[in-house]
Copies of this chain bind each other. A is one copy, B any other.
Amino acid sequence: MTGRLTDEERREAMASLPGWIAVEGRDAITRRFAFRDFSEAWGFMSRVALVAEAMDHHPEWFNVYKTVEVTLSTHDADGLTAKDVRLARAMDQIAGI
């Protein structure tokens, strides 16, 4: 099982993920991705879905047309873990950020 990030790990993680912010009132991080249209947003989500399934770690995400709002947290650990950081990095990479 993956444990929650320590304060030090959390600082390092957030420093390396400048587009992500902490969710208020919850040990989770969030980012809003904006694309050109639904096709591009869906392409992003499809690529992320494959990564998420392979990691067995899935995002909470909301899509409407060209925007995708993602929240990451680890249910089993009841908070932010290294898995969330890995998935956030993969999302940034897929989005070309």
Contact = CB atoms under 8 A, between A and B. Distances in A.
Contacts of A76: none
A39 B53 contact: yes
Question: Which interface residue of A53, A61, A63 has the most chain B CB atoms within 10 A?
Answer: A63
Number of copies of this kind of chain in the complex? 2
B38 A42 contact: no
Interface size class of A (residues with CB under 8 A): 10 to 19
A90 interface: no
A38 B53 contact: yes
B53 A64 contact: no
Nearest to A56: B38
Nearest to A42: B49
Nearest to A61: B63
13 contacts: A38-B49, A38-B52, A38-B58, A42-B53, A46-B46, A58-B65, A59-B64, A60-B62, A61-B62, A61-B63, A61-B64, A62-B62, A62-B63
